[in-house]
Amino acid sequence: MRIGFVGTGLMGAPMAGHLQAAGHELILLPHRTPAPETLLDGGAQIAASAAELARASEVVIAIVPDTPDVDDLLFRGDGLASGLQRGALFIDMSTISPVATQGFAEKLSALGVGYVDAPVSGGDIGARAAALTIMVGGADADVARAMPLFEVMGKTITHLGPVGTGQTCKAANQIVVGVTLNAVAEALVFASRAGADPTKVRSALLGGFASSRILEVHGQRMLNGDFAPGFKAGLHAKDLAIVLDQAEQMGLALPATAIVRDHLLARMQEGETDADHSIIVKEVGALTG
């Protein structure tokens, strides 16, 4: 396929690379970060505008930071919507508002363009290994068109229902990840303050019911003090803000999620927006003095 790809950052670059390696022709529109030389060396082209990229593509995939970024990409000025042809497919792999997603899909449907929301989990490690979890919302026919592309980029692919359900699932994912990150941070800080070796505590916990991928990977990051971004604290805070906004609209209380969001915001105020979200351990530590 001729695939337009928008957003070749920490996650998007390896995802696009897998598509290119599978034989797809890429047209790129950099978003905040330049297109990697590896993609250009492999034959990828750069579009001058979103509309130009859309006119040249059968399918457009976007992975950008936030809901306003998708809105601007689609509808502002020379946006994708002004170039997408009837019968084209737009796949949004960003993590954004489920409610806004449904509105975007309605606008594109009026133009005869399919819409699939397919946010991902797995971080940069999963993106590089083509082992992402992909949470998919959309009409059956549109998802069937997208599935061969998802299979190149991911390992666990679940079609959850109509447009917006992929984003709802990703919101739930971010709750679990955030609260578990905070639990691991509290456990390690508690163990250390109590006089136990937190490295040995983590090792012991990995053999029991408390074991998790987060304890394995991010627990080690916390012990090492290695906060090079796999998933940025600022992005996780943004995701939890989306969750809490929708929860408020639904009349739901999510107290643990709110605490995690506040911890991440506190680290952002310390200039650590671009640090890995496991940086939350520093906030837990700071609260203990």
Active site residue 170: yes
Choose the catalytic residue: 107, 155, 170, 238.
170
**3-state SS string for the chain:** CEEEEECCCCCHHHHHHHHHHCCCEEEEECCCCCCCHHHHHCCCEECCCHHHHHHCCCEEEECCCCHHHHHHHHHCCCCHHHCCCCCCEEEECCCCCHHHHHHHHHHHHCCCCEEEECCEECHHHHHHCCCEEEEEECCHHHHHHHHHHHHHHEEEEEEEECCCHHHHHHHHHHHHHHHHHHHHHHHHHHHHHCCCCHHHHHHHHHCCCCCCHHHHHHHHHHHHCCCCCCCEHHHHHHHHHHHHHHHHHHCCCCHHHHHHHHHHHHHHHCCCCCCEHHHHHHHHHHHCC
Catalytic (active-site) positions: 170
